[in-house]
Structure 1
Amino acid sequence: MKRFIRHSIAICLVGLLFSACKKEADIQPLETSKPRTAATESVVLLNENFESGSKTAYATASVSLSSGSWTFDDALTGNLAADLKNGSKSVRIRNTGSITTDFSMTNATGTVTVSVKHGTYGSDANSNWQLWTSADNGQTWTQQGNTITTSGSLQTATFSFPATSSLRISIRKTSGGSSRINIDDVSVAAGSGTGGGDGGGSASDDSNLLLGNPSNALADISSENNYLMARTYYALSYSRNRGTPNWVSWHIQSSDLGTLSRSNDFRADSDLPAGWYQVQNSSYSGSGFDRGHNCPSGDRTASATANSATFLMTNMMPQAPNNNQKTWANLENYTRDLVKAGNEVYVICGSYGQGGTGSLGGVTNTIDNGHVTVPSNIWKVVVVIPSGNGDLNRINGSTRVIAINTPNRNDIDIDWTEYKTTVRDIESATGYNLLSTLRPSLQDSLETRLDP
């Protein structure tokens, strides 16, 4: 007899002829999500790699770069071996320095996505930095997204936010004293996607949101159930009402996989907006459900900072123990084996619905006195490409896409392949637009295909 999920797929395929299908569980898609539409191409406003121009002193001055004039305050262009960079140069910032565009980007309307590569200079201590923007030619400024912490390798931070006018950006170091940071490959795009809509390459390689923002999440407190949190090691849409992420998106390459053990420092996320309930380390205790990672600890073992970042409770969902420790663990190990075999992968994971069966038996709808919703289903999409450059351009009709949708039950089959489905089926269940930065015809090809 076919497993639960294959039966659900059959139902969905028939229902898709007329309308979006529902699964056996009572599915409640995210209120702010919209039906799947063709991806809208983004307009590239800025691509700056800091390879042109030169500034060799920290004193405040303007420097002419390929994108235009920038003011470097306590910052210079670095080309030393200790400078983390993609190419021959990057920016080096110390103390509370900054780099700021002296020009305004026009046509900054709709959802704007800013991508920045960053890291710690040499053996300096890690520091924090923030992205600030101005819509009035530098008269007033607003911080976008969360404060970002550097690490010893070049990572990509991505910010998405609404804009309605011209735009200036400022990258500001906020902590670490004389410790220095490197900034490289700053890109800005405007449109509904988070990159070059038809694979034009405007989104930075390795970006956690390279394949799109599935629910058009916003880093705005008014978007309390679709709140974008762009972190160094993953990006997520958080639901205040559910107390869990709607989805988490991240990239894995060989340099992300090291030898560090789990930090196990589960903790509340203090970066949530003021007044929001913070799910605690102990919130799942006695519930019969694991603190299930969306972005796994095992995908971030190259540094202690990276591994610790996965233990924030905003990255967790109540997961049936056998689902988490067996079925899902097997899939996670398989995914890492693909990376070790010479690939890199882009992963989107999430959950939906209400009501799961944990180790205590019986269906549970919420835990932590109603603050955390127990999902009925847990899903994941894995896009696999050989390691290389120009990632978005290298995704084609032959690219392998693995889509899994599991019931959140403790009697689950440990063989994750029993729960294969299509990306389109997951979209129908959630209302999200996955892989939205791909051209529509390629989306259709990849999203309707079941992984062999």
Structure 2
Amino acid sequence: MLKNFLLQFVLLFVFSPVLHAYDNSLLENCEEYIKYGTPGKSGTLLCRKGYLLAHDSERKTPIWVAEHLISKRVTGVIKRANFQPDPDLNIGKRAELIDYRGSGYDRGHMAPAGNMRWDQQAMLESFFLSNIVPQIGKDMNQGIWKELEEKIRLWTISRGELYIYTGPIYAKKPPDVIGINKVAIPTHLYKIIYDPIAIEAIAFIMPNMKLKSSDMPAYIVTIREIEKKTGLNFLSTLDTETENIVESVKAKNLWIE
């Protein structure tokens, strides 16, 4: 399994979708999510109560999703919502429920529903398909990926505050797709967790396949590696020296919960 991961990792390529530049006015209600800059300047920007994302209208998936977690946001009791197409995206430019039906893939959250228990609107919006990618279910979305999301919530409680960046990587060109709207299937998923208090980060790239949860430390990477594979630029508002250190240091193991 690890051999397959390493082989696919080597084959990754940089892709930066050419869509349109951001209108800065769209960021006004999502300032907390861009404290450390927007990772890219392409895609359709969608400001939500619990996250901010850039959406790729060709692949029908997010390019990146940014969150700001504090302890009170990960301990609420709001119930889960239902999946639905994003009402702010035009038909033909978005994923539809029928695209996932019978596909064999889970509807994998990038900003997890478990991070939205603090507010009903935030929970509802997390189920928009603009926040979703086709993800292997058993032993991935329902396994190691879910466990990583749970760890992040525990890290938020113990550390007080975290900034999270999540998204897909497409090593295959063109990517495999599902549904009549040709929703792109990522070969890998990335997640970056930045602690602004300790000024340190831990980052992951996981192949979109069945994985052993016990192997989670094997998928730890540097932020620089994610930037190379995606063409994105994270934590760009940090001073140059700090950014270079944070992004080039690879966490030696999982953070203590």
Distance 1:408 1:437 in 2: 30
Answer yes or no: is 1:29 the counterpart of 2:8.
no
Other-structure match for 2:29: 157
Q: Residue 270 of structure 1 contacts residue 278 of structure 1 at CA under 8 Å; is this kept in 2?
A: no
Question: SS of the residue aligned with 1:208?
Answer: helix
Choose between structure 1 and 2: higher helix proportion: 2
Q: In the alignment, which residue of structure 2 is the partner of 1:350?
A: 167
Q: Does 1:371 align with 2:182?
A: yes
Aligned 8 A contact 1:23 1:429 in 2? no
1:407 counterpart residue number: 207
Report the RMSD for the aligned CA atoms in angstroms: 2.6
Q: 2:74 aligns with which of 247, 251, 257?
A: 257
Unaligned runs of 5+ in 1: 9-21, 34-109, 114-143, 147-155, 159-203, 218-225, 356-363, 387-397
Change (3 A) 1:259 1:27: same
- Give the Å deviation of 1:30: 1.7
Whole-angstrom distance in 1 between the partners of 2:75 and 2:122? 11
Output the TM-score relative to the length of structure 1: 0.51
Cα 1:438–1:112 change in 2 (3 A) is farther
Q: Distance in 2 between matches of 1:27 and 1:353?
A: 8
Q: Which has the larger radius of gyration?
A: 1
Per-residue CA deviation, residues 128-168 of structure 1 (Å, 9 max, x unaligned), is: xxxxxxxxxxxxxxxx439xxxxxxxxx823xxxxxxxxxx
Percent identity reads 26
SS at match of 1:283: helix
- The answer to whether the 8 A contact 1:262-1:297 is kept is no
Q: Is the counterpart of residue 211 in structure 1 residue 36 in structure 2?
A: yes
**AA paired with 1:400?**
E
Whole-angstrom distance in 2 between the partners of 1:276 and 1:440: 41
TM-fit CA distance, 1:399 = 2.0
Partner of 2:119: 303
Gaps in structure 2 of 5+ consecutive residues: 253-257
In 1, Cα distance between equivalents of 2:246 and 2:141: 27
Matched, 1:235 2:62: no
Taking structure 2 as the reference length, the TM-score comes to 0.86
Distance 1:249 1:424, change over 3 A: same
- Contact 1:233-1:306 at 8 Å conserved across structures: yes
Equivalent residue number for residue 235 of structure 2: 435
Offset from partner CA, 1:250-296 (integer Å, 9 cap, x none): 10112212332542310011111x45433223321211111000000
Q: What does residue range 37-48 of structure 1 map to in structure 2 within 5 Å? A: none
Cα-to-partner distance string for 1:383-432 (whole Å, 9 max, x where unaligned): 0244xxxxxxxxxxx5220100001112x222322200000000111111
- Which residue of the partner structure matches residue 26 of structure 2? 145
Shift of 1:28: 5.0
d(CA) in 1 for partners of 2:248, 2:110: 24
Corresponding residue for 2:255? Answer: none
The alpha-carbon deviation at position 4 of structure 1 amounts to: 5.1
Q: Does the 8 A contact of 1:347 with 1:382 survive in 2?
A: yes
Partner amino acid for 1:211?
Answer: Y
Partner of 2:108: 292
Where 2:96 maps in the other structure, the secondary structure is coil
Look up the SS of the partner of 2:94 in the other structure. Answer: coil
CA distance in 2, matches of 1:227, 1:250: 17
